Amino acid sequence: MNAPADTSTQTFHGGCPHDCPDTCSMVYTVKDNKLISVTGNKEHPMTRGGLCVKLKDYEKRHYHPDRLLYPLKRTGPKGSKQFKRISWQEALDEITDKWKAIIAADGPHAIMPNSYLGNQGLVHGLNGGDAFFNRMGATVCERTFCGEGSCTAWLLTVGPTAGVDPESFSHAKYIVIWACNSVSTNLHHWHIIHEAQKKGAKVVVVDSYASKTAKEADWHIAPKPGTDGALAMAMMHVIINEGLADQDYIDNYTVGYQELAERAKTRTPEWAAEITGISADDIRKFAREYATTPPAVIRLGVALERSYGGSQAIRAVTSLPALIGAWRHVGGGALQFPVWEHPYKFDVISRPDLIPEGTPVVNNLQLGRALTGELPLKTPIKSMMVWNTNPLTQAPETDKIVKGLEREDLFLVVAEHFMSDTAAYADIILPAAMGAEMEDMVLSWGHLYLTYNAKCIDPPGEAIPNNEIFRQLAKRMGYTDANFQWNDSECLENYVDWNSPTCDGIDLNYLRQHGFARLKAFGDKDTRARHAKGEFPTPTGKCHFLVEGAKNFVAGPFRQMYDGFQPGEDLDSLPDYVPSRETPATNPELAAKYPLNIISPKSHGFLNSCYANVAEKIKGQGEQFVLINQLDARARNIQEGNVVRVFNDRGAFEGVAKVSEDVNAGIVVATLGYWRQLNNGTVNCISSAEFGDMGHSTTFSDNLVEVALG
Ligand SMILES: Nc1nc2c(c(=O)[nH]1)N[C@H]1C(S)=C(S)[C@@H](COP(=O)(O)OP(=O)(O)OC[C@H]3O[C@@H](n4cnc5c(=O)[nH]c(N)nc54)[C@H](O)[C@@H]3O)O[C@H]1N2
Ligand SMILES: Nc1nc2c(c(=O)[nH]1)N[C@H]1C(S)=C(S)[C@@H](COP(=O)(O)OP(=O)(O)OC[C@H]3O[C@@H](n4cnc5c(=O)[nH]c(N)nc54)[C@H](O)[C@@H]3O)O[C@H]1N2
Ligand code: SF4
Ligand SMILES: [Mo]
């Protein structure tokens, strides 16, 4: 441990457990069993001693007066937030008695878990719950909130590779940040990009509005939402037509060039200009600069997948580096989620082997439909347990979720830190422990380090860690498998493949001492070009422009709690532009009623819905706004500061109009995370639960609305 300045204090290694690619390494300072400060670890090459605005006073979150400290039982109508304190014994007995009765009457399919990455720890985030509910034989909750379409597209094209080391971006000369708002959502990668920019690299941001990152760019390209596939296909057209492709790289390390070139013939810049709203000249310039300024690198944001054709767009974008041989150079290629290189044993963590044949699957985006009977379930859901997620704020078609949660015959258990929108509807609430109160390792989907988190204080009140909750539930349900008995340290010993080459010289004790460790297998950030000679982890070892017999599947590196790799419907063998479902061009009928496309990116000051109930954080972030172009505002008599109502057939929410040229006419922006109980609706009241084209991805950027004075 570091030598404490004050001998009565002690410092411990922490890892930020939030759902964020940065997974910062932190330093907890503790005095008398109290967390007195949390800072970024100066030794960590990406954290570099700084935390984001959300976490910079993380200790305060541990002691927030609204924190849930005791088990609670509902006493008033659902959603009324009337609860009484009960003991853990009562809470656990009531839950398991109820579940046993439901299983006896309706079978285990009537019970469903619902969790996500609200905690990214291996033990308290990914573990426990999945294995527990798989052992029960409960309905499987397929979770495709974030990146699952992107993962399908990435795997089809280049396989499970980290691609470019995020730290190697320092060598790049042309950096394309595609649908990612790094300044807000991936701050500790932005440092590296910004340094490269200062050394002369050109930073191009492709974003449907002028985000904070777009404002820092040398060039902001603003395609209409969901049209990135057309832009990428037209770039291919220019690259091939103008002889800018790297024929040697293509011949040796790719599959399907002839077919791709054939398709790209008609995907001209003029064709794409019509679709994207970007001029043909700019598309040509972008393609030429990208192809002739090595090393060129692309950072793919999760937001790229959030429309019906999003994943096909990702296949197109992921094909670009091989077309120009960008992978040859250190710092050249593309970066998606480096989590593919991490040595976690998801099979041990989630125990998909326990899932009985024929178990039904409900997707978490379609929760509202499942709970209201709109989805044809053979066994209706009678009980749901929610932890590490807040679907009522974050999942689409929220009004249906409310209807579902109001059902008298639904027994809802929620483990939480705060009285979230979802917890407000619970029958039983279980108080969960927070970051510094439990041992864990935190996965990262944004860098190549293992991250350790020490338990350094006791939880306040009667809060207990998630994994302990599931240990207790397993005991009462009579599940005796060894994994339900492991303590947290034993879990860590079992969840990581410590014998993999990537862990050479690293074990749990090393991490306890050092807090983090760079994965060994990935090599040196300053010399390694991972795919200079192909070596893609695909069946052929090559980058696939073309995938023979491609089938849809749900992939995700951190959610393999069931065999999601079952092939689905046929896919196009090549990348292409696939139009959105809801735009004026593709759905004029709907657009006659609801003419504006809305996007709902992340809020700078919140972490999904976390922190959006904390007064200082709301002050920093500001109230829910609706960014609208002058032209659209004028046509509706809307002025800066007016309260406006945003609506469609799915629902409505309110926000304050910000009239701005940061967004083009036809598009409105409202950032995500605001709580329904503190606002008039949320942006997810209007968003659709339809899947995107691959991996059952979200379609949050594929929604039409109208805006009117509130
Ligand atoms: N419109 C729109 N909707 C979106 C998105 C969008 O861009 N637009 N983005 C989507 C994406 S990418 C994602 S990842 C999802 C995220 O959606 P969620 O995963 O639901 O995200 P959070 O709102 O952070 O909810 C996490 C909850 O877990 C709780 N929690 C945190 N740690 C613990 C713990 O240790 N134990 C327990 N029991 N609880 C804990 C937190 O208090 C919080 O209420 O939202 C999706 N929704
Ligand atoms: N501050 C903060 N940081 C976060 C989070 C948070 O809630 N707050 N959430 C974390 C999570 S779970 C995730 S998944 C990541 C997500 O990180 P990002 O991928 O950066 O997610 P967003 O901010 O939703 O979207 C990025 C940008 O894409 C743009 N965009 C939306 N649709 C389109 C489109 O169709 N085409 C193009 N070209 N651009 C589009 C948006 O305008 C936005 O500026 O952030 C993580 N980090
Ligand atoms: S939320 Fe992200 S940027 Fe902020 S401290 Fe956690 S890992 Fe770092
Ligand atoms: Mo996410």
In tens, the pLDDT along 611-621 reads 999 999 999 99
Q: Relative to the CA of 687, which ligand 1 atom is closest?
A: 1
Q: Which residue range(s) make up the domain with 621?
A: 588-709
Ligand 1 pocket, residue 115 CB under 6 Å: no
Q: Which residues contact 6 (CB under 8 A, 6 or more apart)?
A: 31
> Are 262 and 374 found together in one domain?
no
- Looking at the structure, tell me whether residues 239 and 321 fall in a common domain: yes
Task: Examine the domain organization and report whether 352 and 331 are in the same domain.
Answer: no
Q: How far does residue 267's CA lie from ligand 2's centre (Å)?
A: 27
Q: Do 169 and 279 lie in a common domain?
A: yes
Q: Where are the alpha helices (H) located in 608-667, listed in sequence order?
A: 615-621, 630-635
- pLDDT (0 to 100) of residue 13: 98
What's the pLDDT at 208? 98
Q: Is residue 574 part of a domain?
A: no
Confidence band, pLDDT 50/70/90 cuts, at residue 5: low
| Confidence (pLDDT) at 557 | 53
* C-alpha of residue 286 to centroid of ligand 1, in Å: 35
Atom of ligand 1 nearest to the CA of 420: 44
Query: Structurally, how many domains does the chain consist of?
Result: 3
Distance 314 CA to ligand 4 centre (A): 16
In a domain, 582, yes or no: no
State the DSSP code for 653.
E
Ligand 2 mean position, distance from CA 599 (Å): 10
Distance 389 CA to ligand 1 centre (A): 4
414 lies in the same domain as 492:
yes
pLDDT at residue 560, as a whole number: 45
Q: pLDDT at residue 291 above 80?
A: yes
Q: Is 52 in the pocket of ligand 3 (CB under 6 A)?
A: yes
Q: 555: pLDDT confidence band, cut at 50, 70 and 90?
A: confident
Q: Is residue 550 part of a domain?
A: no
Pocket residue to mutate for ligand 1, from 55, 208, 608, most atoms within 8 A of Cβ: 608
Residue 3 is predicted with a pLDDT of 47
State the closest ligand 1 atom to the C-alpha of 609, by its place in the atom list counted from 1.
23
Q: Is the pLDDT of residue 230 over 80?
A: yes
Atom of ligand 3 nearest to the CA of 54: 4
| Residue that the structure tokens 């990208």 belong to | 290
* CB of 466 closer than 6 angstroms to any ligand 1 atom: yes
* Cβ pair 456, 347 in contact under 8 A: no
Compute the average pLDDT of residues 397-417: 98
CA 710 to chain centre: 32
Any idea of the CA torsion for 74, 75, 79, 82, to the nearest 10 degrees?
-100
Q: Is ligand 2 within 6 A of the CB of residue 556?
A: no
Could you tell me where the DSSP H helices lie in 162-202?
182-185, 187-198
Residue 685 one-letter amino acid: C
Of ligand 2's listed atoms, the one at least distance from the Cα of 222 is 38
**For ligand 3, is residue 23 a contact (CB within 6 Å)?**
yes
Q: Nearest Cα to 529, choosing from 229, 294, 217? A: 294
Q: Which of 94, 36, 40 is nearest to 62 (CA)?
A: 36
pLDDT mean across residues, the chain: 96
Residue 348 CA, ligand 2 centroid: distance in Å: 31
- In angstroms, what is the span from residue 229 Cα to ligand 2's centroid? 17
385 alpha carbon – ligand 1 mean position (Å)? 15
- Measured CA distances, 512 to 1, 8, 648 (Å): 9, 21, 51
The pLDDT score that the predictor gives to residue 7 is 74
Same domain assignment for residues 261 and 349? no
Tell me whether residue 561 is in a domain: no
Give 224's DSSP letter.
Answer: P
Residue 557 forms part of a structural domain: no
Q: Is the CB of 610 under 6 A from ligand 1?
A: yes
Which of the listed residues 336, 356, 384 is the one where a domain comes to its end?
Answer: 336
Total length of the chain: 710
DSSP H helices, 540-673, are 588-593, 615-621, 630-635
Considering the domain architecture, whether residues 300 and 368 belong to the same structural domain is answered as no
Q: Could you give the CA distance from residue 701 to residue 601 in angstroms, rounded to a whole number?
A: 9
**E strands along 454-595, which residues?**
516-518, 543-544
Cα–Cα distances in angstroms (integers) from residue 504 to residues 348, 494, 687, in the given order: 21, 16, 46
pLDDT band at 33 (very low <50, low <70, confident <90, very high): very high
For residues 142 and 167, membership in a common domain is answered with: no
Name the domain boundary from 518, 545, 569: 518
Q: What is the CATH number of the domain that holds 702?
A: 2.40.40.20
Residue among 41, 43, 37 nearest 24 (CA): 41
Q: Do residue 639 and residue 703 come from a single domain? A: yes
* Domain CATH code at residue 173: 3.40.228.10
What pLDDT shows up at residue 562? Answer: 45
Residue 407 Cα to ligand 4 midpoint, Å, equals 29
DSSP 28-88: EEEETTEEEEEEE-TTSTTTTT---TTTTTHHHHHT-TT---S-EEE-SSTTS--EEE--H
CB neighbours (10 Å) of residue 647?
A: 19
Q: Which atom of ligand 1 is nearest to the CA of 387?
A: 38
CATH of the domain at 464: 3.40.50.740
Output phi, psi for 412, to 5 deg.
Answer: -110, 125
C-alpha of residue 494 to centroid of ligand 1, in Å: 26
Ligand 1, atom 4, lies closest to the CA of 394
Structure tokens belonging to residue 638? 């809307």
Residue 404 placed within a domain: yes
Would you say residue 81 has pLDDT above 90? yes
Rounded Cα–Cα distance for residues 611 and 55 (Å): 9
User: What CA–CA distance (Å, rounded) separates 477 from 223?
Assistant: 53
Cα 568 to Cα 128: distance, rounded to the nearest angstrom:
28
Return the ligand number nearest the Cα of 143.
1
* SS3 state at 626: strand
Task: Output the residue whose Cα is nearest ligand 3's atom 7.
Answer: 23
458: left (phi over 0), alpha (psi -120 to 50) or beta: beta
If one residue of 69, 363, 385, 390 were mutated to test the ligand 1 pocket, choosing by the most ligand atoms within 8 A of its CB, it would be 390
116 CB less than 6 Å from ligand 1?
Answer: yes
Tell me, yes or no, whether 398 lies in a domain.
Answer: yes
pLDDT in tens, 138-155: 999 999 999 999 999 999
For residue 54, being part of any structural domain is answered with: no
Domain end marker among 309, 336, 363? 336
The verdict on the CB of residue 385 being under 6 Å from ligand 1 is no
Query: 612 alpha carbon to ligand 1 midpoint, in Å?
Result: 11
Distances (CA, A) of 525 to 22, 326, 330: 17, 16, 8
Q: Would the CB of 308 count as within 6 Å of ligand 1?
A: no
| Model pLDDT, residue 318 | 98
- Assign 311 to helix, strand or coil: helix
The answer, yes or no, to whether any atom of ligand 1 lies below 6 A from the CB of 146, is yes
Q: Reply yes or no on whether the pLDDT at 563 is more than 80.
A: no
> What gap in Å lies between CA 470 and CA 447, rounded to an integer?
30
- Least confident residue range of 204-218, 347-361, 401-415, 424-438: 347-361
Determine the average pLDDT of the residues in 324-340.
Answer: 96
At how many degrees (to 10) do helices 280-292 and 228-241 cross?
A: 60
End-to-end CA distance of the chain: 56
Name the closest-CA residue to atom 6, ligand 3. Answer: 16
The mean pLDDT of 167-193, rounded to a whole number, is: 98
CA dihedral 113, 114, 118, 121 (to 10 degrees): 30
Task: Assess whether the C-beta atom of 580 lies below 6 angstroms from ligand 2.
Answer: no
Are 125 and 205 in a shared domain?
no
- Beta-strand pair 140-142/34-40: unpaired
Higher pLDDT, 585 or 553: 585
Q: Are residues 93 and 165 in the same domain?
A: no
Give the ligand whose atoms come closest to the C-alpha of residue 145. 1
Identify the pLDDT of residue 1: 46
Are residues 321 and 351 located together in one domain of the fold? no
**Strand, coil or helix: what is 608?**
coil
Phi-psi region of 221 (alpha: psi -120 to 50; beta: other; left: phi over 0): beta
Rounded distance from Cα 325 to ligand 4 centre (Å): 30
Q: Using most ligand atoms within 8 A of CB, pick from 150, 227, 300, 602 the residue to mutate for ligand 2.
A: 602
